[in-house]
Structure 1
């Protein structure tokens, strides 16, 4: 238990704003309340969270909750937790309502003291870092973790030192525009959900402007329920121009291609109820609490659900591009990384999953598969192997001792530039030979890596060497066909992030389809009891 290590008191003196000192009675002994607090904390399990213990150690075990109004401020902040998508019941507000007065009995006073501090510590942690530990949901997760108990104790001390406790608690939540927009949306959708569901549009074939269908009146009613006006028509079954324009506006609000056509993705968004939207907002509030600390400073941000990448330098977008991400069966993971180098005219060593699930079955069904894909087989020493000598039918069962390599060049799967990352999952950014796919609205099409539409501009920015690697020099190196590995001159964090909520260029909230069905796992974890795995 940390309290046994009193020699570390100086390490947490910051929590008191100065050297740790224990409040003393007139005869020089420790104040009885402080002594009892120390005793109670010493008896806690070694597995207990150390934040509260470290806070009191840094403050000489002096009590912190002598003013009943501070307990009232904490209770008020807990009630407000619902507006952040958190559950106030996690903090047992009924118990706190019974603790507002300061009892005369020392044991009861200390019990009250520690309950209030523990509750505040949990509330601050949930608001600042989220309730759920994302590592329990995603094995690849490596964003900045929750700080250690010493740092958490320091943060808690600053909250307690604030003149307005409730405002200080509220200030722990992410101070970013998306978070504020999500809180407003949560209130809106919860109010709408209280009124019931909106009309559903029956399933069926794609609805296109100009058509007539028995499903069109339901579409019209659904959009009217969403606030669209002027949609009444002499022929309610006809998909007229006014209705098409309303569909386009709906699609824009939900991050869909604004083509006025009601296909599967648009139908899914239309039939998402207000209650479901409120749950989606809650999932995104939690998700944003996980990553808010990393969304500052220079960064290369890949918005997986939005199919876009942005390089942010000095607080401004220096580059933006469409991207293609992993399909639902081969999801692009959410992770924090960095570009270690650029490879011009890269060769492609086929990763194990693609080898096992795509290439080997492809060769079994088509002996010309390797040649048509400009691939060859090599052993571990790099020697070329005749593919005819391999038992391809048994390769998936007995293991495959070789590597499949695709030749470099614009026709290769990696295109002409690869942005190598440092993760161990073989995930990176690269050019592509299938550039027509960028014309699609939904671009979850890859095997997990991120394909970039405008890699040359990004390469120049990351090389950050105008004397040697301007656009013309880069183009010449690419045209040479030679494979070269170049170190980056500009180091920025790479954030591959999954979010079903975003802000558009005008600051309007977009609630998007959950292409990987990740929201449900977050909501299940939020519904669990306090702790969430942290």
Structure 2
């Protein structure tokens, strides 16, 4: 028996001695078979890949096969067994993807960190681990490039309407990847995929600032109690001192020490800070500390990081074409801007759809306007508003200067109709309001034909423009400065001078004017942006759309089939 064990021991010693040179060779030349290992990894069964990648599934397998086959599966990111300078730069950019409102974890950051730590510590790193690091870096670059260019979430996955045309071109991720490696400019190639709008880059700086503010916090942001009644200048309240510090935290108020015994007084300096804060949040800047203002002051940096992230994603959905002249309506800001060569020629307050009659997000081209318009009551308003009103009072139509017409245009006497039986579905007529100062469309409407039957128009209810919350319409956009918009649109038609425009608006006779050039109109929904002066603007999510998009932004990605 002892002889037997000695023989076994001798055999094992001989085998180990025979294998030792090969093991030492592999340790000293670890990249010798790396192309074959990369190829084996990419050609493996998906179930094997899932095990190798430790739940970090590949998202761009077809792109990776193309990229590596074109280079005979040679490594792109490694210098020997260590990550190259370009690899280190890409990992930093992955970490910084949070400044784009994205999740670094989506781009294999956790597993890359482990592999980098092992490689940089001069620990033995196997061929399989080298191949994993290599392929994960390329996959991360491709995925991040696609997200920076097109967004992580597709708008069609959202409940609300987003009907703005998408980017026409693909991000050309393999071209960008090859350029990044050959020219050693990973940052430049990825940043070239950012939206071309200055607002995006400003928001990126803002979100950085919010991360710094979050880092500076020593604990969670405490909710300040909302006062029972709005606090006016000169009032005393227990929460004044804390509200003052919150204004200083958000940079709406310079740091100062109130007079002795006045820490709980809402003083004049604080009032100015509150007004500035209210303006940034789209609130009426009246200096009163009411429910909405205190609720906004209770935001934590994390809340605004998430709000910025959602809106940066919306910017990534927009076409990458630069418009020289266009009308921009920000639904959440209740505003309309006429922009030419990046200059805002006209800013107007606007009224948009109520929460149950939301103004859709889309783009179209304005081609004509109508002075002294008539208004044919649309089906929804007819069923929900006008028919019930006429049932209660038959004089409603006369008082509103409305006429009942058949579909041949013949006028019908309202008293001949059995209104008790009328509904929106069986109503055999149309109701049209005549031109005039009380017409629901006001004195002019601006037409950009679209499937939603949404357009811009004047309104006789001018007082509504002074409200902070202007989600009041049935879907169309009412604007505060219709005359000024008409001036800009008709500036290339000399016969349409100011006097003629005013006369046409007040003629009481409908007149259509075709524009010489079609003007793009973009209806957008942004609840956060940073303006040209670097000031952050935060708006109420009037249609409750931010939470849905945020959830999708923070959800795990589905791997490529």
Normalising by structure 2, report the TM-score.
0.77
Question: What's 2:471 paired with?
Answer: 444
Q: 1:412: Cα distance to partner?
A: 0.5
Q: 1:331: Cα distance to partner?
A: 2.2
Matched, 1:345 2:397: no
Question: What's 1:192 paired with?
Answer: 213
Matched, 1:318 2:345: yes
Task: Write out aligned runs for 1:118-517 (5 A).
Answer: 118-147=139-168, 154=175, 158-159=179-180, 161-194=182-215, 195=217, 196-214=220-238, 216-226=240-250, 228=253, 229-230=255-256, 232-233=258-259, 234-291=261-318, 293=320, 296-396=323-423, 398-504=425-531, 506-517=533-544
Q: Is the 8 A contact 1:65 1:71 kept in 2?
A: no
Q: Is the 8 A contact 1:338 1:492 kept in 2?
A: yes
Q: Residues 344, 161 of structure 1: CA spacing in aligned structure 2 closer, same or farther, 3 A cutoff? A: farther
Q: 1:98: Cα distance to partner?
A: 6.9
Alignment partners' CA distance in 2, 1:50 and 1:420 = 47
Q: Residues 474, 397 of structure 1: CA spacing in aligned structure 2 closer, same or farther, 3 A cutoff? A: closer
Question: What's 1:75 paired with?
Answer: 91
Question: What's 1:4 paired with?
Answer: none
Kindly provide the CA deviation profile for residues 402-424 of structure 1, in whole angstroms up to 9, marking residues without a partner as x.
Answer: 32211122321111111112221
Alignment partners' CA distance in 1, 2:112 and 2:534 = 39
Q: Which 5+ residue runs of structure 2 have no aligned equivalent?
A: 1-34, 47-58, 79-83, 120-124
Q: Is the 8 A contact 2:226 2:291 kept in 1?
A: no
Q: Residues 371, 531 of structure 1: CA spacing in aligned structure 2 closer, same or farther, 3 A cutoff? A: farther
Q: Is the 8 A contact 1:124 1:172 kept in 2?
A: yes
Q: Residues 34, 287 of structure 1: CA spacing in aligned structure 2 closer, same or farther, 3 A cutoff? A: same
Q: Is the 8 A contact 1:51 1:153 kept in 2?
A: no
Alignment partners' CA distance in 2, 1:323 and 1:139 = 20
Q: Residues 225, 118 of structure 1: CA spacing in aligned structure 2 closer, same or farther, 3 A cutoff? A: closer
Q: 1:152: Cα distance to partner?
A: 5.4
Q: Residues 366, 150 of structure 1: CA spacing in aligned structure 2 closer, same or farther, 3 A cutoff? A: same
Q: 1:518: Cα distance to partner?
A: 2.0
Q: Which 5+ residue runs of structure 1 have no aligned equivalent?
A: 1-31
Q: Residues 428, 390 of structure 1: CA spacing in aligned structure 2 closer, same or farther, 3 A cutoff? A: same
Alignment partners' CA distance in 2, 1:347 and 1:485 = 11
Equivalent residue of 2:161, what SS?
A: coil
Q: Is the 8 A contact 1:84 1:183 kept in 2?
A: yes
Q: 1:300: Cα distance to partner?
A: 0.9
Larger Rg: 2
Q: Residues 242, 309 of structure 1: CA spacing in aligned structure 2 closer, same or farther, 3 A cutoff? A: same
Q: Is the 8 A contact 1:51 1:152 kept in 2?
A: no
Q: 1:172: Cα distance to partner?
A: 2.3
Question: What's 1:52 paired with?
Answer: 63
Question: What's 1:13 paired with?
Answer: none
Equivalent residue of 2:336, what SS?
A: strand
Q: Is the 8 A contact 1:129 1:289 kept in 2?
A: yes
Matched, 1:523 2:538: no
Equivalent residue of 1:337, what SS?
A: strand
Q: What is the root-mean-square deviation in Å for CA atoms of aligned residues?
A: 3.6
Q: Is the 8 A contact 1:63 1:113 kept in 2?
A: no
Q: Residues 505, 257 of structure 1: CA spacing in aligned structure 2 closer, same or farther, 3 A cutoff? A: farther
Q: Is the 8 A contact 1:82 1:88 kept in 2?
A: yes
Question: What's 2:107 paired with?
Answer: 91
Matched, 1:66 2:76: yes
Equivalent residue of 1:346, what SS?
A: coil
Q: Is the 8 A contact 1:91 1:123 kept in 2?
A: yes
Q: Residues 273, 55 of structure 1: CA spacing in aligned structure 2 closer, same or farther, 3 A cutoff? A: same
Q: How many pairs does the alignment contain?
A: 497
Normalising by structure 1, report the TM-score.
0.81
Question: What's 1:10 paired with?
Answer: none
Q: Residues 264, 343 of structure 1: CA spacing in aligned structure 2 closer, same or farther, 3 A cutoff? A: farther
Equivalent residue of 1:492, what SS?
A: strand
Q: Is the 8 A contact 2:406 2:428 kept in 1?
A: yes
Alignment partners' CA distance in 2, 1:458 and 1:41 = 62
Alignment partners' CA distance in 2, 1:448 and 1:299 = 20
Kindly provide the CA deviation profile for residues 349-372 of structure 1, in whole angstroms up to 9, marking residues without a partner as x.
Answer: 122222222222322333322222
Q: 1:523: Cα distance to partner?
A: 0.6
Alignment partners' CA distance in 2, 1:108 and 1:532 = 21
Alignment partners' CA distance in 2, 1:457 and 1:202 = 41
Alignment partners' CA distance in 2, 1:192 and 1:376 = 60
